[in-house]
Structure 1
Amino acid sequence: MDQIKWGIIGCGNVTEIKSGPAFAKVPNSSLVAVMRRDGALAKDYAERHGVPKWYDDADALINDPEVNAVYIATPPDAHESLAIRAMQAGKPVYIEKPMARNAAECDRINAESKRTGVPVFVAYYRRALDYFLKVKELVDKKAIGDVRFVDICLQWQPYEEEIGPDARPRWRVKPEISGGGHFHDLASHQFDFLEFVFGPIRHASGIARNQAGLYEADDIVVANFEFESGILGKGSWCFTVDKDQREDQTQIIGSNGRITFSFFEKFDIHLETSEGIEVFHVPYPQHVQQPLISLIVQELRGEGRSPSDGDTGARANLIMDRITQRQ
């Protein structure tokens, strides 16, 4: 492939800034078509972003001869079907995370990729962001010595639409659509990045419960995990605390210090050793998926390699299935 001409299926909020505009800003890449079930919204998106074509039917976009790569940005319940249809049409797919609702769906996507020879990529863009590459660099150069332990803490207050007499929780906390709750949405990023840094997680177990009763999905999860390297880890996720208890902190504990960073909310990385504390401030780019999209385009052109593909993307689902005792 020389010029990568993308079509987006599901042009919702995630595509407005995080991803959509990046397709036209990466060299040898363009966004030529978008699709949304509501045709008026698809047309509006196309007009606002300067996209030549819009559709209200996914198969019409997939079969558009001008589209040669497809970005699937729908909720996870549609990922498997859409990815397989696009691959059967010979078009590489870039899938929003999590890759699907569960590991079994991911496996079927990857099986179709191997059968057709059409590549799959997953939007675990932290593998290409400077902020997270800095964390990996500090680990790789043993700035804290040998890594012993990883500790994740993520606790957020409920979203406004999840509480009150007129509560209308979004699809992310409807397991039949998302595969789980906020844990599946957010922890997928965390486990993918940790495997990028430390290698495969060998064992993972946990407890997932719904305590507050605001929606069907679990709202609190605790987990233990072990990497093949012998590094251990634990994590806790709670999505029903008071806003003053909101916290997003991960610590990597080493033999000679620790690294503290945030997965979602802050741009500072703290390196603490016997020599003191060093702070690295590394802001995100305007379009956070652009660095990864650039690497995907390079791979499709035969010029490089994406750090996130179907095989790596499926791992996060497998780990979460084990923690929530679904596998």
Structure 2
Amino acid sequence: MDQINWGIIGCGDVTEVKSGQAFNKVPHSSLVAVMRRDAEKAADYAKRHNVPAWYDDADALINDPNVNAIYVATPPGSHADYAIRAMRAGKPVYVEKPMARNTAECEAMSQVSRETGMPLFVAFYRRALPYFLKIKELIDTNVIGDIRYVRIQLNWQPAARELGEGPEPNWRVSPDISGGGLFHDLASHQFDFLEYVLGPIKAANGISRNQAGLYEADDIAMANFEFQSGVLGIGSWCFTVNKEQRLEQTEFVGSKGKLSFSFFEKYFIRVETETGVANYDIPFPEHVQQPLIELIVKDLRGEGNSPSTGETGARANELIDWITGS
């Protein structure tokens, strides 16, 4: 491909700033069509973002001759369906994370990618963000020595939309749509990046439960995991604490020190060794998916390789399935 002309299936909130505008800011890339089942909202999005075409039918967008690559930005429950339809139509696919609701759906998508030869990418954009690449650099250069273990802590209070108080229901806490709850949504980013930095996780187990009964999905999870390298990991995720208990931090503990950082809330990286403390503050770009989209466009043009593919993206779902017993 020379010019990558994108069509978005599901031009909702995630596409407003994180991704949608980035397609027009990457060389050899353009956003030429969008689709949403609500025709009025699709037309509004197209007008506000100067997109030439809009649809309220996915097949119409997929079969648009001006579209040669598809971005599936719907909730996970429809990822497999739309991605498979697009690949069978001969168009590469970039799909939101988590890749799908479970490992089986991910494998079905990857199988069609192999059968059709159509590339499949997943929006684990932290693999391309400068903030997270700095973390990887610090680990790769042995600043804190040999990694002994990883610890993830995430405590959040319920948001209004999760309590049914927002303008629209939150699909993230509806297992039929999301595949699980907020653990599925957020831990997928964490496990994907941990494997990017430390290599494959060979074993993981845990437990997840619904303690507070605020919604259908589980609201707490605990996990233990082991990397093939021998590094151990532990994690806890609780989404029903009060605001005073709010905490989101991940730590790499090594033979020479410790590296602490946040996946979602702050732009800090703190490195503690016997020589002192070093702090790094690397803000995210305006469109957080733009660096990864640029690499995907280069991949489609034969100029490089994307660090996030269907094969790597499916791993997060597999690990979460192991932990939750799904």
Taking the aligned partners of 1:222 and 1:106, their CA distance within structure 2 comes to 23
* Runs of 5+ unmatched residues, structure 1: none
Q: Does 1:306 align with 2:306?
A: yes
What amino acid does structure 1 have at the position aligned with 2:4? Answer: I
Give the whole-Å Cα distance in 2 for the aligned partners of 1:88 and 1:210: 39
Is the 8 Å Cα contact of residues 61 and 67 (structure 2) preserved in structure 1? Answer: yes
Quote the residue 1:258 is aligned against: 258
Flag the 1:213–1:298 CA change in 2: closer, same or farther, 3 A. same
Q: Deviations over 1:11-58 (max 9, x none)?
A: 000000000000000000000000000000000000000100000000
Partner SS, residue 248 of structure 2: strand
Compared with structure 1, are the counterparts of its residues 214 and 280 closer, same or farther at alpha carbon in structure 2 (3 Å cutoff)? same
Q: Mapping of 1:72-151 within 5 angstroms?
A: 72-151=72-151
| Aligned twin of 1:244 | 244
State the distance in 1 between where 2:151 and 2:196 align: 16
Distance 1:299 1:93 in 2: 12
Residue of structure 2 in register with 1:271 after alignment: 271
Displacement of 1:166 in angstroms is 8.8
CA distance in 2, matches of 1:197, 1:309: 16
Alpha-carbon distance between aligned partners in 2 of 1:170 and 1:295, rounded to the nearest angstrom: 31
Separation in 1, partners of 2:23, 2:275 = 43
Write the distance in 1 (CA, Å) between the matches of 2:198 and 2:255: 16
- Residue aligning to 1:316: 316
TM-score w.r.t. length of structure 1: 0.98
Q: Is the 8 A contact 1:251 1:258 kept in 2?
A: yes
Match of 1:48 in 2: 48
Q: Which 4+ residue blocks in structure 1 deviate beyond 2 angstroms?
A: 161-169
User: SS at the partner of 2:172?
Assistant: helix
In the TM superposition, what whole-angstrom CA distance separates every residue of 1:231-262 from its partner, at most 9, and x where no partner exists?
A: 00000000000012111100000000000000
Distance of aligned partners of 1:165 and 1:250 in 2 relative to their CA distance in 1, 3 Å threshold: closer
Distance 1:252 1:164 in 2: 36
> Paired residue for 1:158?
158
1:161: how far off? 2.6
Deviations 1:44-80 (A, max 9, x none): 0000001000000000000000000000000101000
Q: What is the rounded CA distance, in whole Å, between the counterparts of 1:33 and 1:220 in structure 2? A: 39
For residues 164 and 151 of structure 2, the distance between their equivalents in structure 1, rounded to whole angstroms, comes to: 33
In 1, the alpha carbon distance for the partners of 2:212 and 2:204 equals: 25
Q: Map of 1:189-204 to 2, 5 A cutoff?
A: 189-204=189-204
- How far does residue 164 in structure 1 lie from its aligned partner after superposition? 7.3
**Deviations 1:197-231 (CA, angstroms, capped at 9, x unpaired):** 00110000000000000011000000000000000
Contact preservation (8 Å) 1:169, 1:215? no
1:69 partner amino acid? A
Question: Would the alpha carbon gap of residues 118 and 272 (structure 1) be closer, same or farther in structure 2, given more than 3 Å must change?
Answer: same
User: For the Cα contact (< 8 Å) 1:162–1:168, is it kept in 2?
Assistant: no
Identity of aligned residues (%): 67
Q: Is the 8 A contact 2:163 2:215 kept in 1?
A: no
The AA in structure 1 aligned to 2:131 is Y
- 5+ residue gaps, structure 2: none
Aligned residues: 326
8 Å CA contact 1:260–1:270 kept in 2: the answer is: yes
Distance (Å, rounded) in 2 between the aligned partners of 1:302 and 1:281: 34
Deviations along 1:130-156, one digit per CA (max 9) or x if unpaired, are: 000000000000000000000000110
1-side partners of 2:167 and 2:25: how far apart? 39
In 1, Cα distance between equivalents of 2:134 and 2:241: 30
Q: What's the offset of the Cα at 1:163? A: 3.1
**Amino acid across the alignment from 1:243:** K
Paired position in structure 1 for 2:296:
296
Query: Residue type of the partner of 1:249?
Result: Q
- SS at structure 2 position matched to 1:221: strand
CA RMSD between the two structures: 1.1
Secondary structure in 2 aligned to 1:296?
Answer: helix
After superposition, the Cα gap between the structure-2 partners of 1:263 and 1:115, relative to the gap in structure 1 and judged at 3 Å, is: same
1:10 Cα shift? 0.2
Q: Is the 8 A contact 1:153 1:250 kept in 2?
A: yes
